[in-house]
Structure 1
Amino acid sequence: MAHAAQIKIPATYLRGGTSKGVFFRLQDLPERAQQPGPARDALLLRVIGSPDPYGKQIDGMGGATSSTSKTVILAPSTRPDHDVDYLFGQVAIDKAFVDWSGNCGNLSAAVGSFAISSGLVDPARIPRNGIATVRIWQANIAKTIIAHVPISDGEVQETGDFELDGVTFPAAEVQLEFLDPAADEDGDGGAMFPTGKLVDELLVPGVGTFQATMINAGIPTIFVNAADLGYSGSELQDAINGDPQALARFEAIRAYGAVRMGLIGHVDDAAQRQHTPKVAFVAPPVGYTASSGKAVAAADIDLLVRALSMGKLHHAMMGTAAVAIGTAAAIPGTLVNLAAGGEPRSAVRFGHPSGTLRVGAEARQVDGQWRVTKAIMSRSARVLMEGWVRVPGDAF
């Protein structure tokens, strides 16, 4: 019996922030995968190694966590004043499903450097030495991201001394600006709080009723108080991920919150929207020991935040959720702001399982509604491997 040979597809494996993913140029994908649809999804699933009932993604490029089961497709931008269009696919591990409903803020840190190195940015916009400003159109959520990429001798500089908790080795700093992170496609900021309230009472049948801040900034996120769930806010991954009942409780909160936010019509639809919304719990600052063994002092942070991604507690913090944290912290009265002390602020440093992260946001009221013009944070990125990925020719 004849079997289809493997095909080679140009690709690059990059770390961006605390995530890793396989990056493609749209033009390098097989023709039938250059358009959205089943063929593209099947190809990316096979590249990553999903669905895998063993949960290991051994036969693919995935790392069997939400942070390492990611794909990115870049193309020259079709929009004015942008350099590149960025499309992100979150690949499920044990299901045949690619979620296109949101962005990855961590991998956003690698988009600018990959775009430059792949010839997707006009060379005239790249200095011989200094900082290249890459204008990114985030196609999943119709938002603009500005990446400030360091350049040395005409090439992307990846090495440096910038340290990011959750990443073992230092690298060059990449500053990201997420412009109008809560505006809808018409530029209206009214969708920042889909329910119209800074704090809601969220009824979750069989689980309880919780105060919740439901915000659409960076990525749709549901914030609840750690104490209302019986947590301190200083928990590490094993305390949550090793507790099936806790994971089921968080998924129920996420599903009912998604309905309240208007993201889905029924809680059963949440299974087909795993990437969004996120659910996170917050608490006032206390000292704790991070997963690396690093001591985090209460005096060094403004609050504690723990967030779940794809059904598990994240080992650090999703970049898009950090945008939501910074935005909510800037608005007095949200649960995030109250956990941080309740004062107006333009930046916040929060503690997560791997350490700390600082994110800034510029918020103001316009005609009685809150608007956030930008959120800012620093990450780093590095090429891990480049060349081709191989997949069976009949896999998609």
Structure 2
Amino acid sequence: MSFVPQVKIPATYMRGGTSKGVFFSLTDLPEAAQQPGAARDALLLRVIGSPDPYGKHTDGMGGATSSTSKTVIISKATVADHDVDYLFGQVAIDKPFIDWSGNCGNLTAAVGAFAISNGLVEASRLPENGIAKVRIWQANINKTIVAQIPMRNGQVQETGLFELDGVTFPAAEVEVEFIAPVDGKEAMFPTGNLIDELEVPGVGCFKATMINAGIPTIFVNAESIGYQGTELQDAINGDVQALQRFETIRAYGAKHMGLIQDIQEAQTRQHTPKIAFVSPPKSYESSSGKEVSANDVDLLVRALSMGKLHHAMMGTAAVAIGTAAAIPGTLVNLAAGGGDKPAVRFGHPSGTLKVGAEASLNNSEWQVSKVVMSRSARVLMEGWVRVPGDCF
């Protein structure tokens, strides 16, 4: 019996923020995978090692968590006044499925560095020393992001002293600007309300803020679903019934937001919307053992991604948090004490994060022009990934 040999594909394994994933240049992919479709999905599933009924990703590059089962495709910009297109695929762990419906804000921090190092940014836009502003077109959601990449001696500077809770070692700071994460053609609040009464059969009825900024997100109060807001991963991810309740809330929230027409559709839209719960400041011990004081934060937020409580915070959810905090009357804003909140520092399972948003009320509609946060990124490995030649 003969078998098709493996093929090798140029790739870079990168950390961006509190996530990591496999990065590809579009033109390096096999021809069949350079277009969206079954071949591309099959290839990337095999790269990551999904679906894996063992939940380990032993036979692939994934890390068997929502933060580490990620793929990115970068190409020359197709939109004027941008440098690169950035396409993100969230790979399911136990299903043959890739969700292309949203962005990964954490990996956004690595896109600029990858683009520069792979010659995708015009040399005239790169300072020998200083900050390179890489203009990114986020192709999943058709939004502009600007990543400020430090440069030294003509190369991307990855090392530094910037510390990011949820990441073990310090690195160079990368400021990321999410420009107009909700444009004028979209409703920031799809229901038209800052707070809705969300009724979920078998779970209950409670207040929710449902917002589309960065990524569609459903916010509920921690106490309304039986939590304090100080929980770490083990308190929720080890509770099968709790995870099912969160997924049910997420599904009904998605329908309420108009993202799906039938509750069952939520199973094929795992990446969006996100669900998160908020509470006023409280002191707690983070997952690393670091003490987080109630005096150090404006509010607490815990968010789930791909059915599990995130170990820190998704970058896109941080955009939603910053935007909702800046708008008086949302559950996020009220948890932070209400009033004017152009920037907040929130507590998450791994520590804290500061995010700022520029929001304004125009013709009775809330708009946000920019959300800013700092992340870091670095190359972990580069070379080729290998997959069986008949897997795609």
Q: State yes or no: 1:352 paired with 2:330.
A: no
CA-CA distance at 1:73 after TM superposition: 0.1
Q: Which amino acid aligns with 2:368?
A: V
Q: CA deviation at 1:142?
A: 0.4
Q: Residue 254 of structure 1: CA displacement? A: 0.2
> In the aligned structure 1, how far is the partner of 2:232 from the partner of 2:284?
10
1:302-313 correspondence to structure 2 within 5 Å:
302-313=298-309
Q: Does 1:275 align with 2:271?
A: yes
C-alpha deviation, 1:182, in angstroms: 1.6
Match 1:330 to one of 314, 326, 332:
326
CA distance in structure 2 between the aligned counterparts of 1:266 and 1:233, rounded to whole angstroms: 30
CA distance in 1, matches of 2:273, 2:257: 9
Alpha-carbon shift at residue 343 of structure 1 (Å): 1.3
The count of aligned residue pairs is 392
Partner of 2:173: 173
* Residue equivalent to 1:118: 118
1:79-118 per-residue CA deviation (whole Å, 9 max, x = no partner) reads 1000000000000000000000000000000000000000
Partner residue in 2 for 1:103? 103
Task: Name the residue aligned to 1:242.
Answer: 238
2:156 alignment partner in structure 1: 156
Rounded Cα–Cα distance in structure 2 between residues aligned with 1:48 and 1:101: 18
Residue in 1 that maps onto 2:17: 17
Q: In structure 2, what is the equivalent of residue 375 of structure 1?
A: 371
| Separation (CA, whole Å) in 1 of partners of 2:329 and 2:181 | 19
Give the whole-Å Cα distance in 2 for the aligned partners of 1:296 and 1:182: 32
Deviations 1:297-337 (A, max 9, x none): 00000000000000000000000000000000000000000
TM-score (norm 1): 0.99
Cross-structure match for 1:53 = 53
RMSD of Structure 2 on Structure 1 (CA): 0.5
Report runs of 4+ in structure 1 exceeding 2 Å deviation.
Answer: none
Distance in 2 between the 1:182 and 1:246 partners?
A: 31
Corresponding residue of 1:74: 74
Secondary structure of the corresponding residue to residue 260 of structure 2: coil
| Aligned equivalents of 1:358, 1:317: Cα separation in 2 | 11
In structure 2, the residue corresponding to 1:359 is in which secondary structure?
Answer: strand
Distance between the aligned counterparts of 1:346 and 1:153, measured in 2? 36
AA matched with 2:201: P
Q: CA deviation at 1:210?
A: 1.2
Q: Whole-Å Cα distance in 2 between the matches of residues 4 and 290 of structure 1?
A: 48
- Whole-angstrom distance in 2 between the partners of 1:244 and 1:48: 25
Alpha-carbon separation, structure 2, partners of 1:242 and 1:52: 19
In the alignment, the residues of structure 1 paired with residue 150 and residue 113 of structure 2 have an alpha-carbon distance, to the nearest angstrom, of 9
The amino acid across from 2:57 in the alignment is Q
Match of 1:363 in 2: 359
Percent identity (aligned): 76
Post-superposition Cα deviations, 1:29-53, rounded to whole Å, max 9, x if no partner, equal 0000000000000000000000000
> Does the alignment pair 1:318 with 2:314?
yes
How far does the alpha carbon of each residue in 1:109-138 deviate from its partner, in whole angstroms, 9 at most, with x for none?
000000000000001100000000000000
For structure 1, the residue ranges without an aligned partner over 5 or more in a row are none
TM-score by length of 2: 1.00
List runs of 5+ in structure 2 lacking aligned partners. none
In 2: Cα distance, 1:125 partner to 1:262 partner: 41
Equivalent residue letter for 1:322: A
Could you tell me how far 1:247 is from its partner in structure 2? 0.3
